[in-house]
Amino acid sequence: MSLAISIALLVGAGVYLVLQRGMIRIILGFILLTHGVNLLIIAAGGVARREAPFFGGDTSGAADALPQAFVLTAIVIAFAITVVLATFAAVGRRDDDTEPSSRVDARLGGAQPRRGSR
Amino acid sequence: MAILEVLMPLFVGAPILVGGALLAVPRHHRIRQVFGMGSLIAMLVGAMLLVAATADGTVLAHQVALWPGGIAIPFVADTFSSLVLTVTAILATVCFQYMIASGEARSPSIASLVLILAGGVAGALLTADLFNLFVFIEVMLLPSYGLLVILSRRGEMGGARLYVTVNLLASTLFLAGVGLIYAVQGTVNLAELAGAGDDPATAVATAVCLSAIAVKAAVFPVHGWLARTYTATSPAVTALFSGLHTKVAIYIIYRIYSVVFEGEATWLIIILVITSLSMVVGVMGAMGESTMRSVLVFHMVSQIGYILIGVGLFTQLGLTAGIFYLLHHMIVKASLFLSTGAIEQTYGTGQLDQLGGLRTREPLITVAFAVAALSLAGLPPFSGFVAKFSLILASIEAGAVAVGVVAVVVSLFTLLSMLKIWASVFNGKRSADVERYAAEGRVRERENLLDDEHVDERIVADEAALAIEHNEPPRGATTTEDDPHGHRGTRIPFALALPSLILAAITVSLGLGAEFLLGLSAQAAAGLLDTAAYVSAVLGR
């Protein structure tokens, strides 16, 4: 049950953050979201009926290795994409926005600062 | 054919390795271009061999490292995946040729990124394991993010950010679906999941995967990201993405629905409703756009609807027509993006109201565009006619007359929006500013300025004057035609027009010799209707 609650909290917070406009918040949201999904995959291995494999020499109750391998791969991929996302937040103009600047100008009435290095 | 089976993982491994190695020669763009082109052509040849080997319905499978089936990482090629792989290889080759011609391939990482993208696409097409599918989709997306930004001339990052965000969200959702499938079935091997869609829990878990893939395929109602991201980059990248990304997603929808659900008739009505709405909404969006590329991008949504009719009908004729449509569409759409891209890059603008009168000025591009546009609208003798006609026949045969009617009506609007591009870009009066826009584009490229950065008007005026002075009118130029600069000035180089011409030639030959590809598509459709051969090949028993 604690696993299900953790997944729900992570995904809920992740979705909330992804729906924000700033790129940094979206990145943080995706970090939470992928953690939630990783826990979901771990849960798919049937954690409740697993036992530690060390005592008594009986390994039939050991954890399912496949979801763990999935999660390991997914963590690496999510990490790589987080780096790409962070790069996209940093390059371009010094803004942190996911809206085209014409709309932002209309709404905020301010000129955008010029772009930094690209 | 045993040797071909063993070599199948090379479709993924070789391009990625070569791509990585090419990063080591950042100063030699010729070496990168030669090796990049060589690898893509080798991939194309390999894919054609796969088609030849699977044309009779044989399914080739290889268990990596010879682990027993069900445990090993499986690579499978049947007629369907070989056909799609061949067309993706053609597109990657032609688009890379365009990038070489436009000078974009000189940038240090482009050849590597294109190769890794091609490797990822091959992996997604050949794998029979849902988790590996997720990995390969990521492998093809990561270089795409690079291509999108590096070749973009846009100052604002909105499009690129949106693209990463949408794709990451869809991938995360897909991964969650894979986890759910594993939770219910204890396996993510497609062959072991064959027919598992009868179980409600598995059906729901698979539906999560399919919804995620639908986002990537840009099906209505999750198509909104497409028009805002595909226009934010270079035309060559748009052509490459249009042929590879959304079409791989469609391939996956065909594959998963046929294997896991075995074409379960209960849900087909949902697919048909969604495809009909996609067709209508896409073409309506295209009618309202004001640049060449955004018109074409909205068309993709509409055409994706057409392609998915095949899986929505799930009859032999329907699947055959859908697969034929998919292959035809990949080629035609890339041809259109490349011909309008050549105009956009040479004349410095893709705005419909800033161009005009290219019909007599650029005969090659005009031919390429006209052929591809008529093919897209579905006129004989091009491949689009065969594709649409068989699709409409299939809908009527399956009793879905309404879908057939929508398809016919949408075709008319497709033709109308193609005429819109024709009327304002190829017909009409040449704009007096045509040389200024073209010169501005060249100056921006030379000085590495983005589209919203300030350009010195005098430099642009000098550049325009220089082009008018130096570029002689071609011998056949009609002096009676109204031209602001007496036919002198900027022209599209032949190398830039060639890629779209090649693809236009393919659509003509597929239209005239449709029997050949229809036969292969029918074989591919048979493989989707009866998945027994696929399943036993993947499981190795």
pLDDT in tens, B16-28: 999 999 988 888 8
SS3 B468: helix
Whether the pLDDT of residue B446 is over 50: the answer is yes
Quick one: CA dihedral B10, B16, B18, B21, positive or negative? Answer: negative
Q: What is the pLDDT of residue A112?
A: 44
Is B484 a domain residue? no
CB B128 within 8 A of CB B258: no
Output phi, psi for B73, to 5 deg: -80, 115
CB B460 within 8 A of CB B370: no
Is B169 a domain residue? yes
Nearest to B175 among A37, A43, A85 (CB): A37
Q: How far is B254 from chain A (nearest CA, A)?
A: 25
Nearest to A115 among B155, B158, B164 (CB): B155
Is B374 a domain residue? yes
Q: How far from chain centre, in Å, is Cα B109?
A: 21
Number of domains in chain B: 2
- Give chain B's contact residues with A (Cβ, < 8 Å): 131, 134-135, 138, 142, 145, 149, 155-158, 160-162, 164-165, 168-169, 172, 175-176, 178-180, 182-183, 450, 452-453
Is A113 a domain residue? no
CB burial string B49-75: b at 16+ within 10 A, e below? bbbebbeeeebbbbbeeeeebeebbbb
- A vs B: CB pairs below 8 A: 89
Same domain, B176 and B289: no
Mutate which: B109, B137, B144, B182, vs A, most A CBs within 10 A? B182
pLDDT digits (tens, 9 = 90+) for B259-311: 998 888 888 899 999 999 999 999 999 988 888 889 999 989 999 999 999 99
Is B117 a domain residue? yes
Whether the pLDDT of residue B322 is over 90: the answer is yes
What residues make up the domain containing B34?
Answer: 1-260
Name the residue of chain A whose CA is nearest to B143's CA: A84
Nearest to A92 among B145, B156, B178 (CB): B156
Q: How far is A67 from chain B (nearest CA, A)?
A: 8
Could you tell me which of B179, B184, B190 has the C-alpha nearest to residue B258? B190
Is B299 a domain residue? yes
Whether the pLDDT of residue B478 is over 80: the answer is no
What residues make up the domain containing A104?
Answer: 2-49+63-108
B450 CB neighbours in chain A (<8 A) are 115, 118
Same domain, B193 and B286: no
Query: For residues B494 and A29, what is the distance between their CA atoms, to the nearest angstrom?
Result: 48
Q: Do A99 and B179 touch (CB under 8 A)?
A: no
Query: For residues A26 and A113, what is the distance between their CA atoms, to the nearest angstrom?
Result: 22
SS3 B368: helix
Range list of H helices, B103-219: 110-126, 130-150, 158-185, 200-217
pLDDT digits (tens, 9 = 90+) for A59-100: 777 778 888 899 999 999 999 999 988 888 887 665 566 665
Is B19 a domain residue? yes
Written as six digits, the tokens of A117 are: 């290095």
CA distances to B109, B256, B284 from B267, in Å: 44, 13, 27
Residues 56-115 of A with CB under 8 A from B: 66-67, 70, 73-74, 77, 80-81, 84-85, 88-89, 91-93, 95, 97-101, 115
Q: Do B155 and A73 touch (CB under 8 A)?
A: no
Task: Fill in the DSSP letter of residue A47.
Answer: G
Name the residue of chain B whose CA is nearest to A35's CA: B172
Is A88 a domain residue? yes
Average pLDDT score, chain B: 88
> In whole angstroms, how large is the CA radius of gyration of chain B?
23
Name the residue of chain B whose CA is nearest to A23's CA: B161
Is A45 a domain residue? yes
Same domain, B184 and B321: no
What is the secondary structure of B480-522 as a DSSP string?
TS--TTTT-S----HHHHHHHHHHHHHHHHHHHTHHHHHHHHH
pLDDT digits (tens, 9 = 90+) for B23-42: 888 888 888 999 999 999 99
Query: For residues B90 and B84, what is the distance between their CA atoms, to the nearest angstrom?
Result: 10
Same domain, B253 and B303: no
Name the residue of chain A whose CA is nearest to B454's CA: A114
Same domain, B101 and B249: yes
Residue B189's DSSP bridge partners are: B129
Q: Is the peptide bond before B15 cis (omega within 30 degrees of 0)?
A: no
Q: Do B172 and A81 touch (CB under 8 A)?
A: no
Q: Do B168 and A30 touch (CB under 8 A)?
A: yes
CB burial string B189-214: b at 16+ within 10 A, e below? bbbbbbebbeeeebbebbbbbbebbb
Largest CA distance in chain A: 71
Is A15 a domain residue? yes
Going by pLDDT thresholds of 50, 70 and 90, the confidence category of residue A102 is: low
Same domain, B302 and B253: no
Number of domains in chain A: 1
A44 CB neighbours in chain B (<8 A) are 179-180, 182-183
A73 CB neighbours in chain B (<8 A) are 131, 135
Nearest to A98 among B158, B176, B453 (CB): B158
Is A115 a domain residue? no
Q: Is the peptide bond before B363 cis (omega within 30 degrees of 0)?
A: no
Domain boundary among the residues B260, B291, B316 is at B260
Q: How far is B180 from chain A (nearest CA, A)?
A: 7
Domain boundary among the residues B232, B260, B288 is at B260
Q: Do B161 and A30 touch (CB under 8 A)?
A: no
Contacts of B419 (CB under 8 A, 6+ apart): none
Is A80 a domain residue? yes
Same domain, B163 and B249: yes
Q: Can you give the CATH number for the domain in which A103 is found?
A: 1.10.287.3510
Q: Is B509 exposed, middle or buried (0-12, 13-18, 19+ CB in 10 A)?
A: middle
SS3 B74: strand
Same domain, B246 and B181: yes
Q: Taking residues B339-357, what's their average pLDDT?
A: 85
Q: Is B337 exposed, middle or buried (0-12, 13-18, 19+ CB in 10 A)?
A: buried
Is B266 a domain residue? no
Whether the pLDDT of residue A54 is over 80: the answer is no
Is A93 a domain residue? yes
Domain boundary among the residues B260, B293, B318 is at B260
Q: Taking residues B217-239, what's their average pLDDT?
A: 88
SS3 B60: strand
Is A55 a domain residue? no
CA torsion B153→B155→B161→B164, rounded to 10°? 10
